[in-house]
């Protein structure tokens, strides 16, 4: 995620439960999506899973972005 500066990510991973959870969710969905995309063809069920994984990643990324924006406005404590 190009908007995520390392120092902010490190601080949020340590101090922000929701951020950590969202990062894990995004990574897990990305990993599974990568597995599906390696397959030469997908079943109907897998195609639906692929769409759902993309939605999960997008929702997580949007929420992560908002958390980062808020954290960037606040001085480090």
Structure confidence by residue, pLDDT tens digits, 32-68? 999 999 999 999 999 999 999 999 999 999 999 999 9
pTM for this prediction = 0.85
What gap in Å lies between CA 73 and CA 70, rounded to an integer? 5
**φ and ψ of 69, to 5 deg:** -60, -45
26 contacts 54 by C-beta, under 8 angstroms:
no
Percent of the chain at pLDDT exceeding 70:
96
| Residue 19 pLDDT greater than 70, yes or no | yes
Q: Domain boundaries in the chain? A: 6-72
Q: What is the pLDDT of residue 77?
A: 52
Tokens matching residue 57: 């990643």
């Amino acid at each position: 995620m190009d908007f995520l500066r390392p120092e902010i990510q490190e601080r949020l991973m340590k101090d922000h439960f929701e951020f950590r959870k969202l990062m894990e969710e995004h990574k897990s969905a990305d990993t599974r999506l990568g597995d599906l995309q390696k397959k030469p063809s997908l079943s109907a069920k897998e195609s639906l899973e692929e769409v759902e994984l993309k939605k999960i990643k997008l929702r997580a990324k949007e929420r992560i972005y908002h958390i980062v924006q808020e954290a960037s406005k606040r001085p480090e404590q």
